[in-house]
Structure 1
Amino acid sequence: MATRIRPATNRAASLELIQDFSLEMTGKDITALTEAKDHIPPRTRINITFLGNEDLEMRVAAARMVRDLGFVPVPHISARRLKSREQLEEFLGRLQEVGASEHVLVVGGDPATPEGPYEDSLAIIRSGVLQQFGVREVGIGGYPEGHPDIPQETLWRALEDKTAALAEQDLGASILTQFSFDTDPVADWIDAVRARGINAPIRVGTPGPAGIKRLLGFARRFGVGANAMIVKKYGFSLTNLMGDAGPDRFVNDLAAVLAEHTPGPQPHIGGRIGLHFYTFGGLSATADWVRQFVSEQG
């Protein structure tokens, strides 16, 4: 998929932001990962989703392949999809066997009602199970544009509680945000995170290059803002959804905003801020876009 890369206003900042980016795959994407491997930098973090239509073997096989290809696996754990503590222990045990348990991302998950003993990601963090299987760093979710089903106050309290619980258990923390098309709420949210004294690294969710219709479909599904002004700002057309779109405007604009904050008592100062690409258009398309972006900004 070819997308035209727009020049950055601050090339150094854009290159800094995209350094050490991470990617996302499902358990069904092993073939796609194998095809894209030569275009992905070694030691890139690759998140493996925990979907309801995938099973243990698929998730573990994907994590093993990520590790075998020289990347860093970050398996997801969906709290409300787990039917028992034993199921959590089995999953983590299998991940440890294939060398893929050091980094995980813990999310609540889609089911409104828990299928087992874990009502949310905090319950898993507080269970003490993670450390038993070699977990060293835990990713947690962040929502710069809010969540369609959760009040903002609840989201902030959860973020504070989870980072505090991870610190108490001597586990590393990182924050992965829902994807966005608009830099303004992302930058404001990062300010608010740092103002609360949360200095964990943040990976800003970024939609990888894909068809416009597909991108907007995912935005509606996940409650992400994609109003007419944002669509126009980032080069989409609501009257013509047949084209493709890349995230270069979003990446360049976010980099420029973050670069405006100079060293000192600024809310942005804290852990590293990087990018996580949701690969809606495929792993190869996203990896190729990153290579082209770095080449043209360098």
Structure 2
Amino acid sequence: MNSGFTGTATTVAPLLEDFSLEMTGKDVPKLEEARDTIPEGTRINVTFLGNESLEMRLDAARAVKRFGFVPVPHISARRLPSQAALEEFLAALRADGIADNVFVIGGDPASPQGPYEDSLAVIRSGLLQQYGVRHVGVSGYPEGHPAITDPALWSALELKSAALERHGLSGGVITQFGFDVDPVLAWVESVRGRGVGLPIRIGVPGPAGVRRLMSYAARFGVGASAGIAKKYGLSLTNLMGTAGPDRFIRAMAEGYDARRHGELKLHFYTFGGLKATSEWVAAFRKEN
């Protein structure tokens, strides 16, 4: 559990302790540019995109470690063509001393490209711990998923939590980003009500252009009605503007109660803007 921070507190500091960031395999130059603005030891997730090679993903994870941060390589289950491909990736991570933490997702392809239908299948394979993985992150969807029913999402989360425990792996949840705190906190409370005690990192968009944020929201099925957009601070009449997550984080701090919500931290989706995001976080922490 987190500290005794509840919704009556006025500070956002507890939520911003130990925040995490996300980058792609192509973002190594941007990481180098941003390194001085990111706290040492920050967890940085490295995505597993279809247009990136194994070496590109490995180079990015190596760079994260080299700059003094904690790499969290993604494993996209449905993008793995074979068990051998999974073992090749895990063996390379182990050889570089960066296999401790991974984040396992189903992935975008509608049909598996190999033997792994979803992230649960990768966890159940038993290969992760064989190659030195100790901590496994999994996805959470407070506002649902455009291609997966809510009952299936709840079942998957419960099964993944149980499988991690059975395999002796610690774990955590990173949620898809959203613009409205209310469904996020309601979802977290439901997670706890179902007996899932994994730490949760709430996905938050880094500062970005309104048009770009809306594009990502549409892609991932995130609700962004005119009312929600205004609540977040987006101007749908000025798509050329930019927006940061300050209102969202303050509302999260006001509604967060550790007794009901358990351990919560923040995970920033940077959309390629590692420096802009890390500078924004640093400035926001000083203000609050």
TM-score band, normalised by the shorter chain? over 0.9
Q: TM-score w.r.t. structure 2 length?
A: 0.96
Aligned to 1:277: 268
Residues 1-49 of structure 1, C-alpha deviations (whole Å, 9 max, x = no match): xxxxxxx99442x111011000000000000000000000000000000
Aligned to 2:141: 143
Report if aligned partners of 1:10, 1:252 keep a CA contact under 8 Å in 2: no
Structure 2: where are the runs of 5+ without partners? Answer: 1-6
Stretches of 4+ aligned residues off by more than 6 angstroms? none
Report if aligned partners of 1:209, 1:281 keep a CA contact under 8 Å in 2: no
Residues 167-210 of structure 1, C-alpha deviations (whole Å, 9 max, x = no match): 00110010000000100110000000001111110000000000
Aligned to 1:126: 124
Aligned equivalents of 1:240 and 1:273: distance in 2?
33
Aligned to 2:248: 250
Aligned equivalents of 1:23 and 1:196: distance in 2?
28
Q: How does 1:1-298 map to 2 (within 5 A)?
A: 10-12=9-11, 14-258=12-256, 261=257, 263=259, 267-268=260-261, 270=262, 272-280=263-271, 282-297=273-288
Secondary structure at the counterpart of residue 226 of structure 1: coil
Letter in 1 for 2:115: P
Secondary structure at the counterpart of residue 118 of structure 1: coil
Report if aligned partners of 1:210, 1:281 keep a CA contact under 8 Å in 2: no
Letter in 2 for 1:279: T
Report if aligned partners of 1:67, 1:99 keep a CA contact under 8 Å in 2: no
Q: TM-score w.r.t. structure 1 length?
A: 0.93
Aligned to 2:3: none
What percentage of residue pairs aligned between the two structures are identical? 61
Q: How many residues align?
A: 282
After TM superposition, the structure 1 stretch with the greater mean CA deviation from structure 2, 249-258 or 229-238, is 229-238
Cα deviation, residue 281, structure 1: 5.6
